[in-house]
A and B are shown apart, each in its own frame.
Chain A
């Protein structure tokens, strides 16, 4: 491996009104390595990458960027892309109703005098797709392929721009295990061909697998850079750097005290909202007891979210049939309002689209699902509301300058806590948490597990949907395994293991 330093960022300081996001951060990357950037939410990883990629142009930050030994003053993303620095953001920037080929060459069309040469574009797209190992027709619309494949299209797009330094922000956050593995293999393959990459990820097992070096940020400053070849870096070692203390256990301990059945779903069947002949939930039976955390495991697309949303006020699907019992009595959950009244809450996996009103402040989001609790005869009592919001801010440790801050300005983990706060304030008996720790850091995850523990300790029941199996194994009492819209296995956590769960999924697939 060559030891040329391709990128060096020196003493970068970036301030936003009221906040110092980066303070004197230095960071260097050698040519041909995979360099991981770790840190808790709000540690400044994304900000640092935005400085690098020109999202924040030269002059809006202090410090210097050297690229290939030269001082660079990038004024825009276009400048950095010309130098071969390409960033792939966590939220994919693809246009759903355009084809793969159109997306890859968007803004960079294969054209002469404004007229696009489609034959050439298609040929090049086919070449690029082969490089990333994606077997799709270039004319397929983005909306018709899964998230994993979309991620590959993003990478193909980066390749089309003659990428030299690839930055991936949480590339596997929304991928299942096999797609994640494929993506990481691809990165290792590119590394062999000399591509340098910077990867931001919360999944430490993935980082340990691919990274040559790991730089840890905490509170906007560089903590350390670890060399994975010099010594074996354990996950615990990385976490220690991120949180500044040793995290002895990733899952807080809990003594389960399971009571009687509080929530039961019987024979639940629902169909796809558009393709009315496609079953999305197929005869699901499931129950949760007081004080119990029940997990639903499954691969991406197993139908867990669809099931949960169809139960929660028929928010998804059509021709829904089945029964919901709460405390042994049939409950009316036909609208969200009624579901909430019955004591149900659903914490969505998609906090930005479905969980929060981003342009409203923390307080308004906090109380949105329980206006009864802050008003009398439709008139809001602002002091009650304020008190509630401050209470939840302190209890869930939501890091925000004030409860009047718009949630759009909060980091992902803190946004997730606001969504949780909203539902806790609605005071449900049964909480369905859908991927509650997606895209948030280890520290915030720990806090969310602790909140779950507090809830069940108070006699509530939690249904925990997650794609991260260690998380389910670490937090649940019992696990259901779902595949293709049906429950294919149920096991107490003592008998569950990653192999068991995967085995159940595989076996159910074979039967069909």
Chain B
């Protein structure tokens, strides 16, 4: 009745079928592109200007970085409401260390990242080992760390920081060779334009290799036409954005860090046993535990990881503002959580992708940026962002019911 390897013998699905099956994944990406084009038009071409693109990256880096950790927390079946307050307390600690005690930025950063991990561990301890709902524990954390920030800063702003520290969020990659002014292309940042060409080439090579490898193992791959189109679009978009950035000051440092982190967490979630276990934990904790997996420890780790990333975001925010304020990071938790849900994470755990969360974060970022350029007030911005979040989740649910 069942022939062996029956699945591998079926022909590759047609393009239409394939698109329908992967609707959610591409839907969100298409939504991002549509939103970007919409704002490009309505702002009279401001959105894609090199200066603005650079700003977009700088403004959103910390949301993206926290979304990476939040996605793991949400997939594991938890939530973390305290990340905005962690951003604030880490910024405050960094300020006190560097400004009041003149400690160098490197030591300060290291201490702050560890402190972020400790804060994550403190909350994770109650959630993982005492099974207190994450909502409650991190709600408490949100208040406690905000209060600590106020106390530490005495209600004032502390700054400015050493120039070296500011480079974290305002620095750019060094220009290795200064390129001459080129016809048509203009003056370009050498390192950045090199990366602009090298990274897409590397990605195309990797996906081509993985496709070949899959084929040789008899695994179903997406239709060839689709593969080509997908890669062509990806390359075109990356080269365009990279080129735009290269005509200005080049790639911000933070863009590179962000890229490395995204690649790292994508790898962890899709290719490692730890990632696999987090998905299993969110899908069915009891079954996972009975399969010999220490689910408590796994939950604990996701919160430590979240704490470190939130701490890192705290440093970026402080460096960007060049001062630590008691209000830093206010409401960030909502942007970060929204990014994950827009990106397709499930509220009940077990489902969600790093790429989805990143795209979700950029959707929020472009909305913020575009509406600011249009001159819309914070009032309208919040209404629109709220509705987009709702629409994304409704779309998800509708999709799920249809299949």
Interface residues of A (CB under 8 A from B): 17, 312-313, 315, 335-337, 339-340, 346, 348, 353-360, 364, 368-369, 371, 375, 378-380, 382-383, 386, 390, 394, 397, 399, 401-404, 422, 426
In the complex, how many angstroms separate the beta carbon of B384 from the nearest chain A beta carbon?
32
Q: Which of B240-283 contact A (CB under 8 A)?
A: 271-274, 276-277, 279-280, 283
Which B residues are CB-close (under 8 A) to A17? 403
Interface residues of B (CB under 8 A from A): 1-2, 4-7, 217, 219, 271-274, 276-277, 279-280, 283-284, 286-294, 350-351, 403
Ranked 10 nearest A-B pairs via Cβ: A402-B7, A357-B283, A369-B291, A371-B273, A340-B292, A357-B284, A337-B292, A368-B291, A336-B292, A378-B272
**Complex alpha-carbon distance, A355 and B280, angstroms:** 12
Determine if B272 and A337 form an interchain contact, defined as CB atoms under 8 angstroms apart.
no
Given contacts A354-B286, A360-B279, contact A380 B271 (CB under 8 A): yes
Select one of A336, A380, A404, A422 contacting B272, CB under 8 A. A380
* Other-chain contact of A360, B2, B4, B283 (Cβ < 8 Å): B283
Residues of B within 8 Å of A355, CB to CB, are 287, 290
Which of A312, A337, A346 is most buried by chain B, counting CB atoms within 10 A of its CB?
A337
Q: Considering the chains assembled together, what is the distance between the CA atoms of A315 and B291 in angstroms?
A: 11
Contact A357 B292 (CB under 8 A): no
* B2 in contact with A368 (CB, 8 Å): no
Chain A residues within 8 Å of B292, by CB:
313, 335-337, 339-340, 369, 426
Q: Are A422 and B291 in contact (CB under 8 A)?
A: yes
Known A-B contacts A340-B292, A386-B217; A356 and B287 likewise in contact (beta carbons under 8 Å): yes
Residues of chain A contacted by B291 (CB below 8 angstroms): 336, 368-369, 422
Docked complex Cα distance between A341 and B253 (Å):
46
Query: Given A17-B403, A379-B272, A383-B217, A315–B290 Cβ distance below 8 Å?
Result: yes
Least distance between A263 CB and chain B CB atoms (Å): 18
Flag if A337 contacts B294 (CB, 8 Å). Answer: yes
Contact of B350 among A357, A399, A403 (CB under 8 A): A357
Asked if A358 meets B286 with Cβ closer than 8 Å, knowing A340-B292, A369-B291, A394-B4, the reply is: no
Report the minimal beta-carbon distance from B279 to chain A, rounded to whole angstroms: 7
CB distance from B340 to the nearest CB of A (A): 17
- Give A212 to B39 CA distance when docked, in angstroms: 71
* C-alpha gap A473/B293 in the complex (Å): 35
- A88–B130 Cα distance when bound, in Å, is 38
B271 in contact with A368 (CB, 8 Å)? no
Question: A315 and B289: CB pair below 8 A?
Answer: yes
Evaluate contact between B2 and A399: CB separation under 8 angstroms. Answer: yes
Instruction: Determine if B288 and A368 form an interchain contact, defined as CB atoms under 8 angstroms apart.
Output: yes
Measured CB to CB, the closest approach of chain B to A341, in angstroms, equals 8
Whether A368 contacts B350 in the complex (CB less than 8 A), given A360-B279, A386-B217, A397-B2, comes out as no
Tell me, rounded to whole Å, the shortest Cβ–Cβ distance linking A204 to chain B: 23
Closest to B283 in A: A357
Expressed in whole angstroms, the minimum distance between the Cβ of B262 and any Cβ of chain A is 18
Contacts of B289 in A (CB 8 A): 315, 336
Cα A360 to Cα B288 with chains together (Å): 11
Give bound CA distance, A383 to B219, whole Å: 9
CB pair A371 B290 closer than 8 Å: no
A337 to B350, CA, bound (A): 22
Given the contacts A17-B403, A368-B280, A354 and B272 also touching, CB distance less than 8 Å: no
Q: A383 to B280, alpha carbons, bound, how many Å?
A: 20
Task: Give the nearest-CB partner of A337 in chain B.
Answer: B292
| CB-based nearest A residue for B272 | A378
Q: CB-CB < 8 A to A422: which residues of B? A: 291
Shortest Cβ gap from B218 to chain A (Å): 9
B294 touches A357 (CB 8 A): no
- Docked pose: A426 CA to B289 CA in angstroms: 15
Nearest-neighbour CB distance to chain A for B5, whole angstroms, equals 6
CA of A380 to CA of B403 in the docked complex: distance in angstroms?
29
B277-A379 in contact (CB<8A): no
Q: Is A353 in contact with B287, judged by CB distance below 8 angstroms?
A: yes
User: 18 other contacts beyond A315-B289, A336-B290, with CB at 8 A cut-off?
Assistant: A313-B292, A336-B292, A348-B290, A354-B286, A356-B287, A357-B280, A357-B287, A358-B283, A360-B279, A368-B293, A378-B274, A380-B272, A382-B271, A394-B2, A399-B2, A402-B6, A404-B7, A426-B292
Within the complex, what minimum Cβ distance (angstroms) separates B349 from chain A?
9
* A364, B273: Cα distance in complex, Å: 11
A14 to chain B, nearest CB (A): 17
Neighbouring A residues of B5 by C-beta, 8 Å:
390
A–B pairs, 29, beta carbons within 8 Å: A315-B289, A335-B292, A336-B290, A336-B292, A336-B293, A353-B284, A353-B286, A355-B287, A357-B284, A358-B283, A359-B284, A360-B283, A360-B350, A364-B280, A368-B287, A368-B291, A369-B291, A369-B292, A375-B272, A378-B272, A379-B271, A379-B272, A380-B272, A383-B217, A386-B219, A390-B4, A399-B1, A401-B7, A404-B7
Q: Evaluate contact between B7 and A403: CB separation under 8 angstroms.
A: yes
Nearest CB on B from A396, distance (A): 11
Residues of B within 8 Å of A353, CB to CB, are 284, 286-287
Complex Cα distance A63/B2, Å?
Answer: 29
Across-interface contacts of B350 in A (CB, < 8 A):
357, 359-360
Q: When chains A and B are docked, how far (Å) is the Cα of A103 from the Cα of B192?
A: 67
In the complex, what's the smallest C-beta–C-beta distance from B1 to chain A, in angstroms?
Answer: 8
The reply to whether A354 and B290 contact each other, CB–CB distance below 8 Å, is yes
Alpha-carbon distance between A368 and B284 when the two chains are bound, in angstroms: 12
Smallest CB gap from A341: residue in B:
B292
Give the residue name and chain of the A residue nearest to B346 (CB). A359
In whole angstroms, what is the CA distance A419 to B7 when docked?
21
Whether the pair B288, A357 counts as a contact (CB closer than 8 A) is yes
Q: Which residues of B contact A312 (CB under 8 A)?
A: 290
- Measured CB to CB, the closest approach of chain A to B44, in angstroms, equals 46
- B294–A335 CB distance below 8 A: yes
Alpha-carbon gap, A346 to B403, bound state (A): 34
Which A residues lie within 8 Å of B290 (CB)?
312-313, 315, 336, 346, 348, 354-355
Task: Please report the C-alpha to C-alpha distance between residue A378 and residue B272 in the assembled complex, in whole angstroms.
Answer: 5
Whole-angstrom CA separation of A403 from B219 in the bound complex: 11
Q: Contact: A371 with B287, CB < 8 Å? A: no
Question: Which residues of B are found within 8 Å of A378, using beta-carbon distances?
Answer: 272-274
- Report how far A354 CA is from B291 CA in the complex, Å: 9
Bound complex: CA A315 to CA B1 (Å): 39
Q: Are B276 and A380 in contact (CB under 8 A)?
A: yes
- The interface residues of chain A lying within 8 Å CB-to-CB of B7 are 401-404
Chain A nearest CB from B31 CB (Å) reads 24
Assembly CA distance A117 to B70 (angstroms) = 48
**Residues of chain A within 8 A of B272, CB atoms compared:** 375, 378-380
Most B CB contacts (10 A, CB to CB) among A17, A359, A422 go to A359
B4 to chain A: which residues have CB within 8 Å? 390, 394
Closest partner residue, chain A, to B274 (CB atom)? A378
CA distance A17 to B293 in the complex (A): 35
Give min CB distance, A220 to chain B, whole Å.
13
Distance in angstroms from B170 CB to nearest chain A CB is 36
Contacts of A346 in B (CB 8 A): 290
Distance of B356 from chain A, by nearest CB (Å) = 16
**Nearest chain B residue, comparing its CB with the CB of A426:** B292
A336 to B280, CA, bound (A): 16
In contact, B283 and A359 (Cβ under 8 angstroms): yes
Q: What CA separation (Å) do A384 and B271 show in the bound complex? A: 13
- Min CB distance, B126 to chain A, in Å? 21
Beta-carbon nearest neighbor of A374 in chain B: B273
Cα-based distance from A375 to B273 in the complex (angstroms): 7
The residue of chain B having its C-beta at the shortest distance from the C-beta of A398 within the complex is B2
